Amino acid sequence: MYWTLELAHQLEDGPWPATRDELIDYAIRSGASLEVIENLQAIEDDEGEIYESMVDIWPDYPRKDDFLFNEDEY
């Protein structure tokens, strides 16, 4: 299983919080790439574990705080 920003972006508007099966269903219905669906299927599911955000699936997913962007300037 591997994630890139491009793949993770396909789940940004997902039904958070969600179970693995709900995310797979969303990915299929939204036309996400096959790699996203395969990555979700590779997650070890602990009987309906709830994922609050992409960070729960991919801990290295960049957060808004990771960027040095000053919104007040724009």
Q: How far apart are CA 7 and CA 37, in angstroms?
A: 10
* Stretch 46-65: mean pLDDT: 85
The CA distance from 56 to 41, in Å, is 15
* pLDDT of res. 73: 63
Residue position matching structure tokens 């969600």: 18
Sign of CA dihedral 38, 7, 1, 49: negative
Instruction: Give the bridge partners for 18, in sequence order.
Output: 51
55 vs 70, more confident: 55
Task: Answer yes or no: are the C-beta atoms of 13 and 4 closer than 8 Å.
Answer: no
